Structure 1
Amino acid sequence: MKQLIAKGAAAVVLGAATLAFSAGAGLAADATALLRAAFDNWRANSSESTVTMTIHRPGWERHLTMKGWTQGHDKALVRFTAPAKDAGNATLKLGKTTLIFNPKLNQVIKLPASMLAQSWMGSDFSYNDLSKAEDILTEYTHKIVGSGHAGGHTVYTVEALPKPGAPVVWGKQQAKVRDDGVLLQETFFDQDMKVVRQMTTDKVGRIGGRDYPVVVTMRPANKKGQWTQLVTTQARFNIPIPAYVFTRSNLQNPRD
């Protein structure tokens, strides 16, 4: 699956950005290209992935497994496959519409926009993170505010500030992106510019023919010992996906 899928879960890809940094408008354009590259690397034109999720709290842990499919920038389906008590729970994102299916109730529910920033399956990721919602690209302005080097790559720090009147939750977002489009970190600030949570890439691995953030962890600020980790174990990108996958019918009665 915003903000950052489950940012993350669910899994989602790309190519490297062509960078030619200059002052003013050119710099802003390159900052946007970096963020776009990170989203493309996560999702690609289409994707299919298997992801395990660990929800950690002081005193207990919960482990889940899910399969995810994405297509373009506005379609995503995530279905839990384990443990048995959670299997069948699914979330479908179609543009600005988010539907969830609870097999125990055999009911599909449309989530109001006000709930998209809420916890997804009790984790530290939100419904927006699940589909890697692109609000940061469309509702924010972007600027490169720093750079460094790690693992043989240049790493750029991109600051994203809301456009005037933008209907967004965060007062600011800040992302660290490698020069090949791999997202290394995303930090979320409230309207008072205080850090609310941070997602870090704990491992970059080769999967689906690309370098990819295969292990990411979301940690809320000021909640010691609380985090949620997503581990991508399998992934394929730029593959044909049948149209029926992203339908309400398949959400409730899966054909895969």
Structure 2
Amino acid sequence: MRIITVLVIILIGFKVDAQTAREIMQRVDDKVRGTSNRSEMKMTIVRPDWKREVTMKGWSLGTEYSLILITGPARDKGQAFLKRDNEMWNWQPSIDRVVKLPPSMMLQSWMGSDFTNDDLVKESSVVNDYTHSLDQDSVIEGKKVYKIVLTPKPDAPVVWGKVVCFIEKEDYNQLLVKYYDEDNYLVSTMILSDIREMGGRTLPTRMEMIPADNPKQKTVIEYIN
């Protein structure tokens, strides 16, 4: 009887952890997405021998719709990326054509950066398409954080084998995200910083993506308005 009681306690503990981890990710997701957003951003692609900047404007409505319009440089100006639910289109003014991006392209580079098309449109849901588990708490730059491991559900539209998120306990801001492939190899790391108030919410305004196989390069996206 004692053994059964211990097993029940352990199983309940696992269930509570999973629910708590999911609730944390839900709060993070709700905070980031909000109901509607408008922003101006600058993306800096850094390579050992060169650097390139791209400016853009973005609009979003809930989790279903988002639009990004490239405003510079001149050669890219006018390009637009539209996301509706799990679908994504690219307007290319140079050829006067709209191209729908297939799921097979979600892991490809966006605009030659270290961010992927999936990073842009968030085709998968960090809440609904993954199972969540709390790992050991940690500290990043003096801030106490949750460490949550996201494992994709079977048949979910997910491009990663595993995602590990480090979330600030006080304000539920993501400070660090690690992306792994299906073989559990680290693919890239995103560092989020410069937390400021935007639209009544405190959010990271700087995102730095660093590929694991080439740590000398990176891409930085900064919110400028």
Q: What TM-score does the superposition give when structure 1 sets the normalisation length?
A: 0.78
| Structure-2 separation of matches of 1:98 and 1:165 | 20
Asked if 1:76 is matched to 2:66, the reply is yes
Distance 2:37 2:120 in 1: 14
Sequence identity percentage: 36
The answer as to 2:166 corresponding to 1:176 is yes
Matched letter for residue 206 of structure 1: E
Partner of 2:83: 93
Cα distance, 1:178–1:134 mapped onto 2, change above 3 Å? farther
* Structure 1: gaps (5+ residues): 1-21, 235-256
Distance 1:71 1:60, change over 3 A: same
Aligned to 1:204: 195
- Aligned partners of 1:171, 1:29: CA distance in 2, in Å? 21
Q: CA deviation at 1:170?
A: 1.5
SS at match of 1:170: coil
**How far off its partner does 1:41 sit?**
2.0
What SS does the aligned partner of 2:160 have? Answer: coil
Question: Which structure would you say has the larger Rg?
Answer: 2
Q: Quick check: 1:39–1:132 contact (8 Å CA) kept in 2? A: no
In the other structure, the counterpart of 2:182 is: 191
- Coordinate RMSD, CA, aligned: 1.7
Q: Secondary structure of 1:54's partner?
A: strand
Equivalent residue, structure 2, for 1:105: 95
CA distance in 2, matches of 1:44, 1:74: 11
Q: Which runs of 5+ in 2 are unaligned?
A: 1-11
- 1:7 maps to none
Aligned residues: 213
Q: Is the Cα contact below 8 Å between 2:123 and 2:157 reproduced in 1?
A: no
3-state SS of the aligned residue for 2:40?
strand
Q: Greater CA deviation, 204-213 or 161-170?
A: 161-170
Instruction: Read off the aligned partner of 1:200 and give its amino acid letter.
Output: I
Shift of 1:146: 1.8
TM-score (norm 2): 0.88
Q: Which aligned pairs between 1:12-51 and structure 2 lie closer than 5 A?
A: 23-51=13-41
Q: Provide closer, same or farther for how the CA distance between residues 62 and 36 of structure 1 changes in structure 2, counting only shifts above 3 A.
A: same
Structure 2 residue 100 is the aligned partner of structure 1 residue 119: no
Q: 1:158 is aligned with what amino acid?
A: I
2:151 aligned residue: 161
Deviates more, 1:131-140 or 1:87-96: 131-140
Give the superposition deviation at 1:151: 6.7
Partner Cα separation in structure 1 for residue 140 and residue 208 of structure 2: 19
